[in-house]
A and B are shown apart, each in its own frame.
Chain A
């Protein structure tokens, strides 16, 4: 395994190499200064403001802020709507992470085989990614209309009227309908990533496994999955990230309803900030997500490091 030095070799400051090094270092700072400044203004500063306002009662507009200490954080643990929305987010995350990734993997494996019209199939799965999420949400809202929507109309014409449902108005179905739309919209991206990962698996390995008598499932389990681990890790991390930040489809299709049946953590956070003008509380809720996302980023980094070490 290669051993990397943590710091460059020491040089005498007044030597020609030392001067060149200082000059390079200076140019480095000049080069990254614009990016750092933009990052500081548009990312670090707003995040610092979120941290700060999470300790205040603040309406986000008048500038009047009252210090309340940890009260906003404490309130998050006693808010029944937030508890319900968090439960919904866990359900959402399960489908978005587990079901979506498994489906994407199966589709990617099928599409990686030599079958007719494979290019057309790939395009079909990829198309939803290039459609605006707002357009997707509105289109599906029309399709799922209980009386005039295409989904129920088709079911009725096929003699399956018993399966026609009030997809977005039924308290038990609304969340799952929105999850299905979100999976439909985003599965193509996971498939593309997994297809790219599958192309890195050497063909000889698969052929050797076949000669040794490995079938489809055996090959998938013992060859494909282990070699696809880095890509799968990335897909899972992106899915976790997406499920924690899930907002737009629910907001556009059900506004968290009917009642609170499809409220998610982020829709509650948004409503607290922009509907109820409780920016302080919303900032505290955002902090929990921020911490979770930092944790995920750390895990992703660990995963990448572990994979690099295995390869090294």
Chain B
């Protein structure tokens, strides 16, 4: 009796649990629902995706796409949890540093034969070092990113500064002049430790990567060292020189506060072109330039892609997912989508110069250049975290570039040890 009642209770509980857990399976959704997950793209970005999805859902003949956005900080963890739990999306935004483990876990399928992938520019099919693994491309870029700085024309004119700057020395002279005109020269701060990357990675793309394109891979396999790399030392020394021109109290000032100060017209230069639309709305007269850390204009630039997409083969809906991406990258839809998100194309012949009068210059800043991605996208997990912490210490003057590089080597060794 006792045993029977216990089993009865357990069976009832199991039944209740099973009922509660089974609501989101493929059979409940049907094979025609394609789940699309991407990190927070902002209200305008989301509206652009929704426009594409609405158009596709009407014309697809039974396939329905559902989009879900997840906040940036939680995206990687949520994606990994869902994928490993069998509840992953069918199409999703891929952060480059996750690609090796996503391929290893068979959560990405090769895209080389897909029509939408073949519509990309050749460089967009294989330019980024993380894109092609063992001869197969697993991710497709959607939006080319253009990195650079925007400046407040009024402030620079008042300070007697001519921009864009031809090289790093020119840039430093400009910052000093803006400071003397009683303005904060550079809307940069370090409380949000991701923010300084916007002035460090343009330098690594021009100084480190062209000299040794395999440097980051070498860090991961132990054949290279940060401390033994003179270009990395130069990058951090350049950073140190820029610190006096940051926002006041840079370690207690968040990126949002720096951005707000630029939008209020209190700062000369903002180190990220992505603020252009908001700055226009604030009524600022603006210019655009790309960072130059070499003596003469560099053929290299930091960039990559704002959004990179992959298809999860695990749900059995790859064909439907590819059909959606064929639609998104089609000649009729893709240009409109880019205009709406104010992005730059990864296909030939798409003109976005109408979006803003600076877009032609911005497009020109990447056309024909060697584009290098963020090095942290290529490092083993754990290195970037130490790097960002060390950069805060460097900003505070509590450490030296040499000590930062040594700490990064130690972090790389620890990361290799954990593999």
Instruction: Give the Cβ gap from B388 to chain A, nearest Cβ, in Å.
Output: 9
Q: Quick check: is B26 within 8 A (CB to CB) of the other chain?
A: no
Q: Quick check: is B377 within 8 A (CB to CB) of the other chain?
A: no
- With a cutoff of 8 Å between Cβ atoms, the chain A residues found around residue B105 in the complex are 61-63
Please determine whether B252 and A170 come into contact, CB atoms closer than 8 angstroms: yes
Instruction: Give the Cβ gap from B401 to chain A, nearest Cβ, in Å.
Output: 15
Please determine whether A41 and B17 come into contact, CB atoms closer than 8 angstroms: yes
User: Could you say which of B192, B249, B418 contacts A277, with CB atoms under 8 Å apart?
Assistant: B418
Please determine whether B396 and A26 come into contact, CB atoms closer than 8 angstroms: no
Interface secondary structure of B, over-half rule: helix
Please determine whether A30 and B9 come into contact, CB atoms closer than 8 angstroms: yes
- With a cutoff of 8 Å between Cβ atoms, the chain A residues found around residue B419 in the complex are 57
- With a cutoff of 8 Å between Cβ atoms, the chain A residues found around residue B192 in the complex are 255
Q: Quick check: is A27 within 8 A (CB to CB) of the other chain?
A: yes
- With a cutoff of 8 Å between Cβ atoms, the chain A residues found around residue B9 in the complex are 29-34
Please determine whether A276 and B190 come into contact, CB atoms closer than 8 angstroms: no
Q: Quick check: is A281 within 8 A (CB to CB) of the other chain?
A: yes
Please determine whether A27 and B13 come into contact, CB atoms closer than 8 angstroms: no
User: Could you say which of B6, B84, B257, B389 contacts A145, with CB atoms under 8 Å apart?
Assistant: B257
Q: Quick check: is A231 within 8 A (CB to CB) of the other chain?
A: no
Complex formed: what's the CA distance from A57 to B418 in Å? 6
User: Could you say which of B17, B251, B398 contacts A37, with CB atoms under 8 Å apart?
Assistant: B17
- With a cutoff of 8 Å between Cβ atoms, the chain B residues found around residue A257 in the complex are 191, 193, 251, 389, 392
Complex formed: what's the CA distance from A32 to B8 in Å? 12
Please determine whether A144 and B252 come into contact, CB atoms closer than 8 angstroms: yes
Complex formed: what's the CA distance from A26 to B10 in Å? 12
- With a cutoff of 8 Å between Cβ atoms, the chain A residues found around residue B12 in the complex are 30, 33-34
Contacts A41-B17, A63-B105 given; indicate if A276 touches B415 (C-beta within 8 A): yes
- With a cutoff of 8 Å between Cβ atoms, the chain B residues found around residue A275 in the complex are 381-382, 385
Q: Quick check: is A197 within 8 A (CB to CB) of the other chain?
A: no
Contacts A25-B2, A57-B418, A281-B418 given; indicate if A258 touches B251 (C-beta within 8 A): yes
- With a cutoff of 8 Å between Cβ atoms, the chain B residues found around residue A22 in the complex are 1-2
Q: Quick check: is A87 within 8 A (CB to CB) of the other chain?
A: no
Contacts A259-B392, A271-B385 given; indicate if A147 touches B247 (C-beta within 8 A): yes
User: Could you say which of A167, A169, A276 contacts B382, with CB atoms under 8 Å apart?
Assistant: A276
User: Could you say which of A30, A57, A148, A276 contacts B5, with CB atoms under 8 Å apart?
Assistant: A30
Please determine whether B393 and A259 come into contact, CB atoms closer than 8 angstroms: yes
Complex formed: what's the CA distance from A30 to B396 in Å? 62
Please determine whether A169 and B389 come into contact, CB atoms closer than 8 angstroms: no
Name the residue among B5, B396, B415 with the largest chain A CB count within 10 angstroms: B5
Complex formed: what's the CA distance from A276 to B12 in Å? 41
Instruction: Give the Cβ gap from A84 to chain B, nearest Cβ, in Å.
Output: 11
Q: Quick check: is B104 within 8 A (CB to CB) of the other chain?
A: yes
Q: Quick check: is A59 within 8 A (CB to CB) of the other chain?
A: yes
Q: For residue B79, which residue of chain A has the nearest CB?
A: A61
Complex formed: what's the CA distance from A276 to B14 in Å? 36
Instruction: Give the Cβ gap from B370 to chain A, nearest Cβ, in Å.
Output: 30
Instruction: Give the Cβ gap from B20 to chain A, nearest Cβ, in Å.
Output: 10
Interface residues on B, range: 35 or more
Instruction: Give the Cβ gap from B75 to chain A, nearest Cβ, in Å.
Output: 12
Please determine whether A276 and B2 come into contact, CB atoms closer than 8 angstroms: no
Please determine whether A145 and B2 come into contact, CB atoms closer than 8 angstroms: no
Q: Quick check: is B339 within 8 A (CB to CB) of the other chain?
A: no
- Contacting A at CB under 8 A, from B229-261, are 247-254, 257, 260
Please determine whether B382 and A146 come into contact, CB atoms closer than 8 angstroms: no
Complex formed: what's the CA distance from A80 to B393 in Å? 16
Q: Quick check: is B16 within 8 A (CB to CB) of the other chain?
A: yes
Complex formed: what's the CA distance from A170 to B84 in Å? 41
- With a cutoff of 8 Å between Cβ atoms, the chain B residues found around residue A278 in the complex are 381-382, 418
Q: Quick check: is A171 within 8 A (CB to CB) of the other chain?
A: yes
- With a cutoff of 8 Å between Cβ atoms, the chain B residues found around residue A148 in the complex are 257, 260
Q: Quick check: is A112 within 8 A (CB to CB) of the other chain?
A: no
Q: Quick check: is B80 within 8 A (CB to CB) of the other chain?
A: yes
Q: Quick check: is B278 within 8 A (CB to CB) of the other chain?
A: no
Please determine whether A30 and B1 come into contact, CB atoms closer than 8 angstroms: no
- Contacting A at CB under 8 A, from B365-419, are 381-382, 385, 389-390, 392-393, 395-396, 398, 415, 418-419
Complex formed: what's the CA distance from A169 to B193 in Å? 11
Instruction: Give the Cβ gap from B130 to chain A, nearest Cβ, in Å.
Output: 16
Q: Quick check: is B101 within 8 A (CB to CB) of the other chain?
A: yes
Please determine whether A146 and B398 come into contact, CB atoms closer than 8 angstroms: no
- Contacting A at CB under 8 A, from B124-164, are none
Complex formed: what's the CA distance from A43 to B395 in Å? 43
Please determine whether B254 and A141 come into contact, CB atoms closer than 8 angstroms: yes
How does the 8 Å CB contact mask read for A138-179 relative to B, with 1 for contact and 0 for none? 000100111110000000000000000011111100000000
Contacts A26-B6, A29-B9, A276-B418 given; indicate if A37 touches B14 (C-beta within 8 A): yes
Instruction: Give the Cβ gap from B96 to chain A, nearest Cβ, in Å.
Output: 15
Complex formed: what's the CA distance from A275 to B193 in Å? 14
Instruction: Give the Cβ gap from A50 to chain B, nearest Cβ, in Å.
Output: 16
How does the 8 Å CB contact mask read for A259-300 relative to B, with 1 for contact and 0 for none? 110000000000100111110010000000000000000000
Q: Quick check: is B23 within 8 A (CB to CB) of the other chain?
A: no
- Contacting B at CB under 8 A, from A1-52, are 22-23, 25-27, 29-34, 36-38, 41
- With a cutoff of 8 Å between Cβ atoms, the chain A residues found around residue B191 in the complex are 168-169, 254, 257-258
Q: For residue B411, which residue of chain A has the nearest CB?
A: A276
Q: For residue A258, which residue of chain B has the nearest CB?
A: B251
Instruction: Give the Cβ gap from A96 to chain B, nearest Cβ, in Å.
Output: 23
Complex formed: what's the CA distance from A186 to B52 in Å? 47
User: Could you say which of A33, A61, A146, A255 contacts B253, with CB atoms under 8 Å apart?
Assistant: A146
Instruction: Give the Cβ gap from B385 to chain A, nearest Cβ, in Å.
Output: 5
User: Could you say which of B6, B10, B104, B251 contacts A62, with CB atoms under 8 Å apart?
Assistant: B104
- 4 cross-chain pairs, A with B, having the tightest CB-CB distances, nearest first: A169-B252, A33-B9, A169-B251, A276-B382
- Interface CB pairs A-B, < 8 A, 19: A32-B9, A36-B13, A37-B17, A61-B80, A62-B105, A141-B254, A147-B249, A147-B257, A166-B251, A169-B191, A169-B249, A170-B252, A254-B191, A255-B192, A258-B393, A259-B390, A259-B398, A276-B385, A276-B418
Residues of B within 8 A of A (CB): 1-2, 4-6, 8-10, 12-14, 16-17, 76-77, 80, 83-84, 101, 104-105, 190-193, 247-254, 257, 260, 381-382, 385, 389-390, 392-393, 395-396, 398, 415, 418-419
Known A169-B191, A258-B396, A274-B77; further 16 A-B contacts with Cβ < 8 A: A22-B1, A26-B6, A30-B9, A32-B9, A37-B10, A59-B101, A59-B381, A59-B418, A145-B252, A166-B251, A169-B253, A171-B396, A255-B192, A257-B191, A275-B381, A276-B382
